[in-house]
Amino acid sequence: MEPSVRLIPLGGLGEIGLNMMLVESGDELIAVDCGLMFPDETLPGIDHVIPDFSYALAKREGFRAVVLTHGHEDHIGALPYLLRGASVPVYGTPLTLALVSERLREHGLLETADLRTLRPRERFEVGPFGIEPIRVTHSIVDGIGLAVETPVGTILHTGDFKLDPSPLDGEPSDERRLAELGEQGVLVLCSDSTNVDRPGHTRSEVEVGQALTERFERAAGRVIVATFASHIHRIQQVLTLAARHRRRVALLGMSMQKNVTIAAELGYLRVPDDLLLPLEELAGLPPARQVILSTGSQGEPNSALALMAAQEHKYVQVAPGDLVIISARVIPGNERTIGRVVNALYRLGAEVLYEDNAFVHVSGHASQEDLKRMLTLTRPLNFIPVHGEYRHLLGHARLAAGVGLPADRIFLIEDGTGLEVTKTAARVVGRFPAGRVLVDGKSVGDIGAVVLRDRQLLAEDGLVAVSLVVDSRGAVVAGPEIASRGFVYVKENEPLLEELKAAVLAALAAAEPEAPRDREALAARVRTAVRQFINQRFRRKPVVLPIILEV
């Protein structure tokens, strides 16, 4: 029988985030990335979403490694949850492992973790796989793609990438090695689809620096820059400009402070001497000498930028003359949140520059022409678009067809659907266990659809609790007492609540003599009576919670 290898996506194919791809040969497998996804408004109260690891954990005897492409949360954030169930080596570049170490320390897992450093072009063996990291540029330094040599051929996974010809660190994507792999033969290419709907080429990080230079030269007052704490190159440009214009810098946000410290210690960030100041000391300088480098570029509640906009920050009061630069792409879904912050900053008299009105950011992902170049460099026999919602995957599949890949060699698959490849053939296989596991505090996977639906109902229509005391025959001894949260304000609606009490008593009295009068039956009658009363009067459907006590 001809040997085969399976690629099994557990996350990242069908959504932005949650990235995790298994490569399986026989009984042995590795994972590429292990990321989380941040919840949207349909997941009230949820902290994180992580992949379903059950398939990998069931194969833990042959689970050889997790290999990380870079240090963004959507590629490393679920690692602590995986490592609780499988003691598996984790490979990554120095900055990636430093960021991983922070996450593992928070979860009390750092002491037992097996973290192994890899470097571009330094091939290593893991079980039946030979793995070669390949340098790629992205919006975080130390990013790599992976050439995974398997018993049937080479699988190339790009990770998140762009083809920046002039990155700040002088480490462009290794197009020469990608072309060499293409000449040798790439069996499967898995390529980042995030920016497939953007025509042309993704612009260089250096161009952002040039645009920011002009803004700093014209700024008469304080400059506040909000960006991702992981964007080390963007942070470097701001620090360099601040030093050039004789400004001092304060870092706002725990993640910003941690990442700057880590990147500086590893040599990825050059912090000029005497540049950084604690915020309370910076506030004593004239505004024209101040730069604040902050998190909160997505307008997250309680982030430094949001607190400034709401005039609730302890040390920073935004004033006329301030220049606020939001140097980040607005993640889909955050438009309204960041819009509120921008409006609030304008009301305080600041000048605000952001993606819609100024060139202050470039993406870390390849646009259409760069994606085409990746396809032509590597010339894969088979192609899987990865990292994106279905529309991105579909757009990338069409792009691949446009550069000449045969339709029967392009595989548009999503989480839980695998691709089995031999040296000469490929076919879709599955279904594999895959899905979204919800993390709420210390609960992992305990929150299901029913709980989420109840939370949504509570948020939309509120709660009405009805308590009764009954005797052993089911007759009402005391009550009903009614409490409400998010439905009506009790003190202002006492006549209404009296009517509701009467409706409950009437419903109980109208029950047939032979009808059951245990607590469950009484609770069901109370629930029905309250729902009918409220629906007829208000056309609303709050959660109704009967509390029946027996004496």
Active-site annotation, residues: 192, 365
456 three-class SS? helix
* Burial of residue 510 (number of CB atoms within 10 Å: 0-12, 13-18, 19+): exposed
Distance CA 143, CA 141 (A): 6
Contact 437, 446 (CB under 8 A): no
Distance CA 79, CA 70 (A): 13
Distance CA 485, CA 461 (A): 9
Contact 156, 379 (CB under 8 A): no
- Residue found by looking up tokens 């990147």 in the block: 263
Taking 3-state DSSP, the helix, strand and coil percentages for the chain, each rounded to the nearest 5, stand at 35, 25, 40
What 8-state DSSP symbol labels residue 478? E
Q: What six digits make up the tokens of 369?
A: 């022409």
Q: Write the DSSP string, 213-254.
A: HHHHHH--S-EEEE--TT-HHHHHHHHHHHHHTT-EEEEESH
Distance CA 439, CA 492 (A): 38
Distance CA 157, CA 413 (A): 15
Amino acid at 58: A
Distance CA 315, CA 287 (A): 13
- Angstrom distances, CA of residue 441 to CA of 80, 323, 372: 14, 37, 42
Distance CA 418, CA 480 (A): 57
- Residue found by looking up tokens 């691709």 in the block: 419
**End-to-end alpha-carbon separation of the chain, Å?**
73
Nearest to 111 by CA among 87, 133, 138: 87
Preceding amide of 480 cis, omega within 30 = yes
Q: What six digits make up the tokens of 126?
A: 């893991």
Distance CA 156, CA 146 (A): 6
Contact 233, 169 (CB under 8 A): yes
- Residue found by looking up tokens 């893991």 in the block: 126
Nearest to 324 by CA among 301, 348, 340: 348
- Give the contacts of 338 (CB within 8 A, at least 6 positions apart): 297, 298, 299, 326, 330, 354
